[in-house]
Structure 1
Amino acid sequence: MKNESFNVFLWYLRQRMRELLVLILFSVIFTVVFYLHNISTEAVIYAFAICLFMGMLLLAADFFVYFRKIKFLRRMQSSITISAEELPESRNLLEREYASLIKKLHEDKAKNITAFDNEKSGLIDYFTMWVHQIKTPIAAMRLLMQSEDEPGEHMEELSVELFKIEQYVEMVLQYLRSDSSSTDYVLREYNLDDIVRQAVRKYAKLFIHKKIRLDYRDLNCSVLTDEKWTVFVIEQILSNGLKYTDKGEIRIYMEEYGTKTLVIEDTGIGIKSEDLPRVFESGFTGYNGRKDKKSTGIGLYLCKRILKKLSHSISIESEAGKGTKVRICFDTVRVEIE
């Protein structure tokens, strides 16, 4: 607090430097004139001291008003985004012009935010409608494929690719929902083993198709989370593991040391060390994405954002050419359980 007041005082002196110099100059002229008229030195010093004292009083009063206005403006910084009507009253024409400029900028900002929100809302509505509509032809294609008398190898490949399309469509829908203010997160106590098995069953066909071994250990752990969103996160991690693992295995287990940390580990191509700090950024694909053109740069970003809203955390360890280990910590802050 003392440092803050001292800094404000220094800024005030810089702002009032011209007035102070004029006051000192006039005091010197007044003293010299009195001295040249053979007035006693004591009278000159006394008059100079009175002028200096009165000047300091006025300076102190002016600084007090200045300091109060600075404190008020700093308190206003938290509410100025809502309204600019509570700005302090202008004391002169210059302050009035500055206040008018601030109000004008605030009004323009509010209009731009409203226009952006309306445009964003329109885009979300459009893409949400598109996602729901595209599910119809996808479902029809799957029914047609299932009605074939002789599936064959090509039909199996088509089934796998159709599954990937479904997952990308689902990712778009979850991306839109995760950014919506109306998204509901229902926190309850769940058996983590049940949640993970849902995701594993969904990707069982890809495990078989790519001949990837699954090393699954029972997860005897109860966690406070949202089932729907946690399943989606685990599906994204499994999808990445299967996408970048051509041979080997994917291991799913709980980390030791008593923490509620789920580990999903693969023996895939791994991630370069220079890419690791940015894997959770939106749109970042890294070396693997640029090389194989398989990455969207959205999956891990969504996982990070969803888990943060659920008060969970996620971290990744990886070594290029050896594999990747993803840790999801389900420790939560104190919340109300439904």
Structure 2
Amino acid sequence: MKKIIRNFFMDRLIYILFMISNSLLLTIFYTFTVGENVEVIYPLIITIFLISTLLIIDWFRCYGFNRDIEAIKRERNHRLKASTREQKEVAIAIKYINLKYEKKEQNLLSNYENKIYFLSGAIHKFKNYISVIGLIIEKNKYKNEEIELILKDIEYENDNLCASLEQVLNYIKLDSFSNDFEPVAVKLYDELKEIININRSTFINSDVFPILNSEEKDVFIITDKKWNKVIMEQIITNAIKYGTLKNKKVYFNIKKKGSNAFLSIKDEGIGIPDYDLKKIFEPFFTGENGRKIRSSTGIGLYIAREIAHTLGHEIYIESKVGIGTEVTIRYLSKL
């Protein structure tokens, strides 16, 4: 409102000054021409009255139009009411720009959806190939010792490829994530045990040992079971991936405080430098550790944070270089 009033008077200031100056000049002219004292106050009152009347009429025509302009900034399809010819021309121009923009937006959206459809289909097809490779590995793993060592390396890379493709799929699904989750009560301890068991081969192949010590085994949290699994698996994968020595451990702990439950996942890995710590949730940021670990993509923690934010969870990270990293997830606990 203040902005509209200020702009209104600033735009009409030159007319106001012109009208007042005109009245003063006419008064001075008649004073010198007639040679008598000419009434000054009366012409000024008439001028002020006419200016005020004009401004009031103009204000009602201007205010509604400017109010609609502000509404269009918030809602693109808001109807613009125009009073003057100039305003009507502006309204036509805005309508033309909106139609042109909507057409372009629809084309971009259509192209985007087609690309996402194709990409999702291709990824699922690749995952089928990965499954076939896994079956071939299992079939030939124990034929002889030399082949077993080779197949173990192939299996490791195959698992990494599968995890990366799954990560890309989750990244694609973020756009429609708000329509694809259902908050339910989940027993956190049982859920954590299940995810650790699913990733058992990854722990074994990486010589990392999970340590689950928690007195809070009956804590229920409010979350989406499928998407919370994505968060936890991403953090566990990072804890395994960034270990530098064999026989490292990853510690899991559950605490309950008030209406919140906290899951802590602490590793003994390489740690994150302070200057990278504040950027780790940015998409595609890999930092110094990413240059050391070739499988780093920089989207895992970004996906985890976006999912957590939508589900109403929070993720905190503390880390020391050479000591390890502790990731804590805060959940709303079911009372």
Fold similarity call, TM over 0.5: yes
* Greater mean alpha carbon deviation, residues 95-104 or residues 319-328: 95-104
Deviation of 1:98 after TM superposition, in Å, equals 2.6
Conserved? CA contact 2:264–2:328, under 8 Å: yes
Q: Describe the shift of the 1:303–1:14 C-alpha distance in structure 2 as closer, same or farther (beyond 3 A).
A: same
Deviation, structure 1 residue 39 = 4.8
Once the two structures are superposed, what CA deviation does each residue of 1:288-331 show, in whole Å capped at 9, x if it has no partner? 11233321011111101111111111121112222111111112
Q: Give the corresponding residue for 2:184.
A: 188
Runs of 5+ consecutive residues of structure 2 not aligned to the other structure: none
Match of 1:147 in 2: 139
Instruction: Show CA shifts across 1:96-146 (max 9, x none).
Output: 333233222212211221111111111111111112211222122111111
Q: Which amino acid aligns with 1:293?
A: R
- 2:155 counterpart residue number: 159
TM-score (norm 2): 0.89
Q: Distance in 1 between matches of 2:64 and 2:112?
A: 41
Q: Find the counterpart in structure 2 of residue 88 from structure 1.
A: 81
Please report how far the alpha carbon of residue 20 of structure 1 lies from its aligned counterpart in structure 2 after TM superposition. 1.3
Question: For the residues of structure 1 that align with 2:168 and 2:40, how far apart are their CA atoms?
Answer: 84
Q: Which residue in the other structure is 1:99 paired with?
A: 91
Partner residue, 1:306: 307
Conservation of the 8 A alpha-carbon contact between 2:20 and 2:44? no
Given that 1:31 and 1:48 are in contact with CA atoms closer than 8 Å, whether structure 2 keeps it comes out as no
| Unaligned segments of structure 1, at least 5 residues | 334-338
After superposition, the C-alpha distances for 1:263-289 in whole angstroms (9 at most, x for unaligned) are 111111111111112211111111111
CA separation of 1:146/1:222 partners in 2, compared to 1, >3 Å: closer, same or farther? same
Alignment correspondent of 1:228: 226
2:115 is aligned to 123
Alignment of 1:137 onto 2:133: no
* 1:329 match: 330
Residue 57 of structure 2 is aligned to residue 61 of structure 1: yes
Q: CA deviation at 1:40?
A: 4.2
* Residues 198 and 231 in structure 1, CA contact (< 8 A), matched pair in contact too: no
Task: Quote how far apart the aligned CAs of 1:253 are.
Answer: 0.5
What is the rounded CA distance, in whole Å, between the counterparts of 1:111 and 1:63 in structure 2?
35
Residue 90 (structure 1) shift = 4.7
Q: Distance in 2 between matches of 1:227 and 1:39?
A: 95
The two structures, once aligned, show a CA RMSD in angstroms of 2.2
Q: Equivalents in 2 of 1:179, 1:46: separation in Å?
A: 69
**What is the distance in 2 between the residues matched to 1:134 and 1:39?**
101
Match of 2:67 in 1: 71
Instruction: Give the corresponding residue for 1:175.
Output: 171
Report the AA paired with residue 10 of structure 1: R
Q: CA deviation at 1:181?
A: 6.0
Checking the alignment, whether the CA contact within 8 Å between 1:311 and 1:332 is kept in structure 2 is: no
* Normalised TM-score (structure 1): 0.88
Letter in 2 for 1:134: F
CA contact (8 A) 2:319 2:326 kept: yes
Residue type of the alignment partner of 2:200: A
Q: Does 1:214 align with 2:210?
A: yes
Indicate the larger mover: 63-72 or 218-227.
63-72
Cα distance in structure 2, aligned partners of 1:245 and 1:291: 11
Describe the superposition over 1:223-259 as per-residue Cα deviations: whole angstroms up to 9, x where unpaired: 0111111111111101111000133211111246443
Letter in 2 for 1:208: I
Aligned to 1:286: 287
1:238 equivalent in structure 2: 236
- Per the alignment, residue 277 of structure 2 pairs with 276
What residue in structure 1 maps to residue 196 of structure 2?
A: 200
Kept after mapping to 2: 8 A contact 1:313/1:328: yes
Work out whether 1:252 is the aligned partner of 2:252: yes
Identify the residue that residue 336 of structure 1 maps to in structure 2. Answer: none
2:43 corresponds to 1:47: yes
- Does the 8 Å contact 1:241/1:250 carry over to 2? yes
The structural deviation recorded for 1:198 is 2.1
Is the CA contact 1:210–1:246 (under 8 Å) kept in the aligned structure 2?
no
